[in-house]
A and B are shown apart, each in its own frame.
Chain A
Amino acid sequence: MVKVKLTVNGRAVSGDCEERTLLVQFIREKLGLTGTHVGCDTTQCGTCVVHMDGKSVKSCSILAVQASGSSVTTIEGLAADGGLHPVQAAFKEHHGLQCGFCTPGMVMTAVDMIDRHGGQLDEQTVRQELEGNICRCTGYHNIVKAVLSANAEMHGGAKQAAE
């Protein structure tokens, strides 16, 4: 057993787990934060995406012990005060979700994508950068719309450039 200490959604947490425990298992089972999902065994589907020290990672491909000392944000910690982050709001407005299972991972990937590109996003880039997240419900059409809309919302000055 190893002791894991990290910050999750702004709160210091710690717990004992087996060395082989994945970060996603730690988040879901030790912390009870079940918004982060598991959809495959091979790091292909992206339903488990969280942010670690500000970057999106697939929490099924990192050991909990590797994440020790880091700051992790899950879907539960994305928006403050029970509201919606602009990306979450855009997914709702543009119907970018159906069953909701891939949604937390999609949103976390989209937030990171928008942050990295600083407003310079177009449809082709969004589609390419969503390669690591699989959705079986929406056909991606509305997810792409939502990401572009949130990008415009969050980088108002760069909206023209994005379009």
Chain B
Amino acid sequence: MGVEGIGARVARKEDKRFLTGKGRYTDDMVVPGMKYGYFVRSPHAHAKIRNVDISAAKAMPGVVDVLNGKQLREDGIGNLICGWMIHSKDGSAMKMGAWRPLAVETVRYVGDAVAIVIADSLDEARDAAESVVVDYEELPAVIEAVDALKPGAPQIHPEAVNNLIFDWEIGDAAAADQAIAQAAHVIEVDIVNNRLSPNAMEPRATLGIYDAGDDHYTCYTTSQNPHLARLVMSAFYNVAPENKLRVIAPDVGGGFGSKIYIYPEEIVCLWASKKTGVPVKWTADRTEAFLTDAHGRDHVSKVTMAFDADNRITALKVDTIANLGAYMSLFSSCVPTYLYATLLSGQYDIPAIHANVRTVYTNTAPVDAYRGAGRPEATYLLERTMDMAARELGVSPAELRRKNFIRSFPHQTPVILTYDAGDYEASLNAAMQAADWDGFAQRKEEASLRGMKRGIGMSCYIEACGLAPSQAVGSLGAGVGLWESAEVRVNAVGTVEVLTGSHSHGQGHETTFAQLVAGRLGVPIDSISIVHGDTDKVQMGMGTYGSRSGAVGMSAVAKALDKVEAKAKKIAAHLMEADESDIVIENGELKVAGTDKTLPWFQVALAAYTAHNLPSGMEPGLKETAFYDPSNFTFPAGCYICEVEVDPETGTTKIVQFVAADDFGNIINPMIVEGQVHGGLAQGIGQALLEGVHYDESGQLLTASYMDYAMPRADDLPSFDLSHQNTPCPSNPLGVKGCGEAGAIGSPPALMNAITDAIGNNMLTMPATPQKVWMAAQPTH
């Protein structure tokens, strides 16, 4: 496809502005008259609000106004919503407790917003916030989901008896029970998936601007899907009518899921701007981010896996309790259900699966999608269980997996999904070869001579991404359709603007989307601009998450390009007096096949706009729109192998090798794909070794800064060994699958299996801190 087309390792177009300090993030925005917002937040995990006294704060220097939840309610601003409806197995709807943008009667976690102070400077707003006197009546709190379900536990929302939000199931319980009863071997395991903080380096920020002259609202915000923010804020929160609300997500400094949802601050700043007549900007500090960004994971599960005498899996049964925090965030309900349990078949041909998920309110920050969203939880559960099973059955982990792989496609799992293409053995073989699996015993021996415990572990993951199709997600409870939109505008001089509803927050869309166009038209990549993240420019979109930008977003661009090319060919055929079917587009020219007749691309574009000589009846212009809704999810898969050395004296784990062999379908830009995998691996390794959100029993967040929450730093990680064994995806025109989440999904079990192999103790939980590893490695365990 040429040096700049699909498959080329093109350096990123967007890099120069980031490298020279010209990136423009929300907190960089300054508009005339702008003031600073600072939120007064609950210091208690659970309390009744008796009174909010703002009189002293209003008199503080620089203060414009102080607004509270009662005023917001009086102005008719709605509750935050959860957009994915899940029903319990008894048919009842999930129990949604009220989430006010500013709490009025009750606060339910530390960090719950109560009021906003608006002042000339951030320092003045922060000073004044300390003078807001909130009279709280403390209530007992509950933190762990398992405790929240116990009789007599504090009741967090009146709607949810015993704090149970829903009790959901999928699969065939009777078939799974029967297979387990008849099994030759049964493995039972408890699995905990630790709670994480997404920690995008750019803290969330929002700037609300109300223009009284035009009765128009603008919201700059750190969002992964500005169009959904506009839709939800207008349709559900009554902040502004959709036609009078512009949402702009400019450069966004990482999301990892945490910027998919709409948070209270966006609503409050927009409303406060109208209320006070000044633009209001709020930027989270890191502690606010730890307190209020939606957390990820937090599952406890009981797993039963059955095998026949030939070590084939006959059934899998899973009982999961998922902590959703104090309120249901926008997508929270689908994460532990359809994004999780539908992946429990993994790469394996499992005839019977049953999963039961109970979701629970606790007095903690809301939990929602975080890189991988449900798929990491499923993969961790399955791949840890497979390793423990291999150990108990006395077979190698590779052979147990190999024996159970799905080998023919399409494959219908017992939990809804139909895998469309894959070759799991190819990835396994490639990873084992790259990791020199066969040479491990010798390396272990050598390490033991140095007093080190060496271990090796693998994980074979699969994910369902390219989030769509609309009909499927609708049938599963989604409140929106998950297609994508694109518009290709060819300018009169032949340069091209592509408008997409996908959103780039580090994934390099300005380059990869341009590569698609450059490859198709043969025009230079610098003549193509990608426009995204602004609801006034792009009519509609569904944003970026679930590795959907390539499979869904770029497919929409490809469809719009089809239409542009068809019209350009008609014009060229007319101008060159040839048959339309003989026109080919190559290297920036439209040619009559088999002749020397040719027209440069820009000349055809110009002809479309001069309109002096167009085919009879043709509209002038060269601009086309497409919406794309695929037929299926995409199914990236792969095999990761990790080798570690554990120092038995200190419990410290060192990763000595990490191999990733992935199947992402067709690759748009190998350099960007590798970068996505590296980042995912770092987050997965962070989960396994370092990261964990911890509350104390009263609900105080103990990990509320980078001094307390261990983030992976350069010295914690190795360099990675990557390869690809690609089977093109048949479900979209580009054959792409998606790569953004794979690393975070596949790496935690590989690493934990490696540590388990090193120390010989199955019961280790993430994060595998030196203290835990040291304890687990002691002979008494």
Contact = CB atoms under 8 A, between A and B. Distances in A.
Interface of A: 18, 20-21, 28, 32-42, 44-45, 47, 74-76, 78-79, 82, 84, 88, 91-93, 95, 97-104, 107, 123, 126-128, 130-131, 133-144
A85 to B, nearest CB: 9
Nearest to B287: A41
Contacts of B30: 32
A99 B714 contact: no
A45 B19 contact: no
B277 to A, nearest CB: 22
Interface stretch (B482-490, B628-636, B671-679): B671-679
* Most B Cβ at <10 Å: residue of A18, A76, A126, A140: A140
A34 B674 contact: no
Contacts of A142: 674-675, 678
B714 A127 contact: yes
B681 interface: yes
Given A98-B679, A99-B253, A126-B714, A92 B201 contact: no
B21 A84 contact: no
A97 B22 CA distance: 14
Interface of B: 11-12, 14-25, 27-28, 30, 123, 199-203, 251-254, 256, 283, 285-287, 505-508, 671-672, 674-683, 705-707, 711, 713-715, 717, 719-720, 743
Contacts of B507: 98
A135 B20 contact: no
Given A82-B20, A138-B678, 14 more contacts: A28-B28, A34-B24, A34-B27, A36-B21, A79-B20, A84-B19, A88-B19, A95-B672, A99-B201, A99-B506, A123-B719, A131-B714, A134-B201, A140-B714
19 contacts: A33-B21, A40-B286, A40-B706, A42-B286, A42-B705, A75-B20, A99-B200, A99-B506, A100-B15, A100-B253, A101-B201, A103-B19, A127-B717, A128-B714, A135-B201, A139-B677, A140-B713, A140-B717, A142-B675
A21 B123 CA distance: 9
B748 to A, nearest CB: 14
A39 B24 contact: no
Contacts of B16: 84, 92
B714 A144 contact: yes
B659 to A, nearest CB: 13
Q: Which 8 A-B pairs have the closest CB atoms?
A: A35-B21, A100-B18, A101-B253, A99-B506, A139-B678, A139-B682, A44-B706, A98-B506
A130 B21 contact: no
Contacts of B12: 92, 95
B705 A139 contact: no
The A contact surface, by secondary structure, is loop
A100 B286 contact: no
B711 to A, nearest CB: 5
A131 B30 CA distance: 32
Contacts of B27: 34, 38
B506 A39 contact: no
A144 B714 CA distance: 8
A104 B21 contact: yes
Contacts of A97: 15, 18-19
A98 B675 contact: yes
A20 B23 CA distance: 27
A134 B201 CA distance: 8
A107 B21 CA distance: 10
Nearest to B19: A88
Nearest to B508: A98
A113 B251 CA distance: 28
A40 B251 contact: no
Nearest to B283: A38
* Most A Cβ at <10 Å: residue of B12, B23, B199: B23
Contact of A34 (B19, B21, B286, B714): B21
A101 B594 CA distance: 51
A44 B287 CA distance: 12
Given A20-B123, A101-B254, A140 B682 contact: yes
Contacts of B283: 38
Nearest to A22: B123
A126 B714 CA distance: 8
Nearest to B23: A100
Nearest to B717: A140
A76 B20 contact: yes
Contacts of A74: 21
Nearest to B254: A99
Contacts of B711: 134, 136
Contacts of B674: 95, 142
B201 A136 contact: yes
Nearest to A98: B506
A41 B286 contact: yes
Contacts of B253: 37, 99-102
Nearest to B198: A136
A110 to B, nearest CB: 11
Nearest to B718: A141
A33 B18 CA distance: 13
Contacts of B251: 99-100
Nearest to B505: A99
B229 to A, nearest CB: 19
A41 B285 contact: yes
A128 B713 CA distance: 9
A84 B20 contact: yes
Given A84-B19, A137-B679, A140-B717, A92 B254 contact: no
Contacts of A138: 675, 678-679, 682
B506 to A, nearest CB: 3
